[in-house]
Structure 1
Amino acid sequence: MKSSLLSTTAVAAMLKVNESTVKRWTDKGSLRCIKTPGGHRKYKMKDVVAFMDQFAYDVTDLLVPAKESLSSVNVSTDYALLTKDFAALSDLFYNTCLEGNRENTFQYLHLLYANRISQPEIYDRVVFPAFAKIGMQWSAGNLGIEQEHLASNTAMHAIIKLQDHITKRPSHGKVAVCGCLEHEHHEIGITCVNNILESNGWTTYYLGTDLPTESFIDAIEQHVPALVCI
């Protein structure tokens, strides 16, 4: 997707400063820009975000430019990240999963996490809506079973790989057992629950899907968890 370009006016409005201040930052080299053939300054959203990170700019109350002010017709990934446009981010994830490129899908989730979108937000606001859409498209006959399976396996690979990059809290000693009972083969939801617990200091035992009830009970008796997630 084409990267959005912001005008000096749009950046100034977003950061609540005068245009002359933006131009001064640019001339000093603090804020990168692109010069058009006509000599106008244009800014990539990612460069504005990098500027805010470098100088600890408060992003809690920014005036974000309207989509109409962007040079790109489409909502860019940069814009969606900055504004936390979860509908757009989830649609991008939906498309990436259906393409079946596991590394690209992981890199996309890692990009979200690196841009201050928390692990619960990634799951609740990006992953789950995307798979609700996949389920509806499959029910409507717009997606084949093979496409649904490809998307699910692609997402699972990315979710598992992302877990290695999540900052985890120290263990507090509590144990959780997570899994799906027999006849339940959908794994993404329970995997996300397991990962959230693990990231928050729980020792987790993940039992997977389609587990007989008796076997689940055996696991509970063996591990004596403080929490059981089914």
Structure 2
Amino acid sequence: MATEAVHYSPKQVASALAASESSVKRWCDRGIIPTVRTHGGHRRISLDGLRAFTAATGKELVDPQVLGLPQLFCDRKVDVPGAGDPCQSGFRKALAVGDEATCRNLLFQKVDSSSRRSLTAAALICDAMQGIGDAWDCKELDPYQERRACDICIRLINELRSTLPSISDDAPVAIGGGLCGDPYQLPTALVELTLREQGWNAISIGTDLPAESFLQAAHDFRPRMVWLSVSAISHPDDFVVQQNRLADGLGEGVALVVGGRALSDAIRPQLKYTAFCDSLQHLDDLATMIAGA
């Protein structure tokens, strides 16, 4: 006995597409969505018709479970927004599709022609990751593509770090990372790279750490600088308490340098710190000043 084909109402399809029911009915009536009619004249959409519609329009089922379907997969775009420089555009595209070899070639071509390799690499990587993040927010890239891009960039930063001269035994020490609630590794890796090219013995101690871990590391390494990369703040009040606990716990002569996209104008006045850096270039200049003091 043949099983009757499943059909969906416009309301069900609208919910799965995160569209209005009136839009789905209009697409049905215009023939954009293949549609059949019941004996009572009601519109019904078959699974094959729905698949034909999504394939032709590029629209995605935001919630296929509404229709009793598993997640439907689709081709993702690889063009992500960013600067117009051909090297930057090529790097973004390669990073979005996970082409690590092309990313490496483009990165080293760019930095080899620059006097400040770390800052050039940071500009290339930050442009790409911002574009990938924007595309992810708009659901044009899958979360795994953003995670993979981060992993590739971390490996490339480590490769670039290995090409820098050895740190001298008397180099000033800097430690840093991210407080609890901030898991982003890429920003603090770029800070470490920038300081190491400046001749600092820079050590990233990790992310998502309590203030006490920073204070223990400061006790262990006796740094002249502690940096705090702030890319995400889950609970602002807790963050302020943690950050100020860190500032109060550092001894005299230790510069606490903060920076990051999550440090809003509302939060910054509540914090204790030596300097705020709104760019790696600013940090680079500050590190030169501190080292020479």
TMscore range, shorter length? 0.5 to 0.7
**3-state DSSP of counterpart to 1:207:** strand
The amino acid of 1:151's aligned partner reads A
Partner residue of 2:144 out of 146, 164, 168 = 146
CA distance in 2: counterparts of 1:188 and 1:216, whole angstroms = 18
1:182 and 1:211 in contact (8 A); partners too: yes
Unaligned runs of 5+ residues in structure 1 are: 1-84
Cα 1:102–1:124, aligned 2, differ >3 Å: closer, same or farther? Answer: closer
Q: Is the 8 A contact 1:174 1:226 kept in 2?
A: yes
Name the counterpart of 1:208. 206
Matches within 5 A, 1:55-204: 87-116=85-114, 118-167=116-165, 173-204=171-202
- Structure 1 CA distance for aligned equivalents of residues 170 and 178 of structure 2: 25
Distance 1:89 1:184, change over 3 A: same
Q: Shift in Å at residue 168 of structure 1?
A: 6.2
- In structure 2, stretches of 5+ residues that fail to align are 1-82, 229-293
Per the TM alignment, residue 119 of structure 1 is displaced from its structure 2 partner at its CA by: 1.8
Give the CA deviation at 1:167. 4.8
Offset at 1:94?
Answer: 1.1
Cα 1:170/1:222, change in 2 over 3 Å: closer
CA displacement, residues 44-76 of structure 1 (integer Å, 9 cap, x when unaligned): xxxxxxxxxxxxxxxxxxxxxxxxxxxxxxxxx
User: Percent same amino acid among aligned pairs?
Assistant: 22
Distance 2:93 2:126 in 1: 14
| Cα separation, partners in 2 of 1:165 and 1:102, compared to 1, 3 Å | same
- Deviation at 1:176? 0.1
Q: 1:219 to 1:169 in 2, by over 3 A?
A: closer
CA contact (8 A) 1:179 1:209 kept: yes
Computing the radius of gyration from Cα coordinates, the structure with the larger value is 2
Q: 1:188/1:86 Cα in 2 relative to 1: closer, same or farther (>3 Å)?
A: farther
Please give the per-residue CA displacement for 1:180-217, whole angstroms capped at 9, x wherever unaligned. Answer: 11221111111011011112111122112111221111
- For residue 163 of structure 1, report the CA deviation from its aligned partner: 1.4
Q: Larger deviation: 177-186 or 109-118? A: 109-118
Structure 2: distance between partners of 1:150 and 1:135: 12
Residues 98, 171 of structure 1: alpha-carbon distance in 2 compared, 3 angstrom cutoff? farther
| Contact 2:118/2:193 (8 A) holds in 1 | no
CA deviation after TM superposition for structure 1 residue 105, in Å: 2.1
Change (3 A) 1:100 1:115: same
Q: Could you tell me the TM-score, scaled by structure 2's length? A: 0.46
Letter in 2 for 1:139: D
Indicate the residue corresponding to 1:39 in structure 2.
none
Q: TM-score, normalised by structure 1?
A: 0.57
Q: Pairwise mapping of residues 28-43 of structure 1 onto structure 2 (< 5 A)?
A: none
Kindly tell me: are residues 116 and 204 of structure 1, through their superposed partners in 2, closer, same or farther at Cα, counting changes over 3 Å? closer
Aligned CA-pair RMSD: 2.2
- Structure 2 vs 1, CA of residues 117 and 93 (structure 1 numbering), >3 Å: closer, same or farther? farther
Contact 2:88 2:127 (C-alpha < 8 Å) held by counterparts: yes
Aligned residues: 146
CA apart distance, 1:101: 3.0
Q: Give how far 1:108 is off.
A: 2.1
List, as ranges, runs of 4+ consecutive aligned residues in structure 1 with deviation greater than 6 Å.
none
Give yes or no for contact 1:90–1:125 (8 Å, CA) kept in 2.
no
Asked which structure has the greater RCO (Cα within 8 Å, sep 6+), the reply is 1
SS of the residue 2:208 aligns to: coil
